[in-house]
Amino acid sequence: MEIDILDFIEQCRDLAKQALGKHAGEPASGGFARW
């Protein structure tokens, strides 16, 4: 089964934003949320 890496990254970003809430994208959250 082929996985679209771009879609995968978008899903990861969405999950990260949900998990981190208002802290998403802030320097304290690290580089994961800023892919």
Tens of pLDDT along 1-35? Answer: 687 999 999 998 888 888 776 554 555 555 555 54
| Structural domain boundaries, residue 23 | 5-34
pTM: 0.45
Chain centroid to CA 29: 11
Count: domains in the chain: 1
* Helix H or strand E encompassing 9: helix 5-20
Q: What is the pLDDT of residue 11?
A: 92
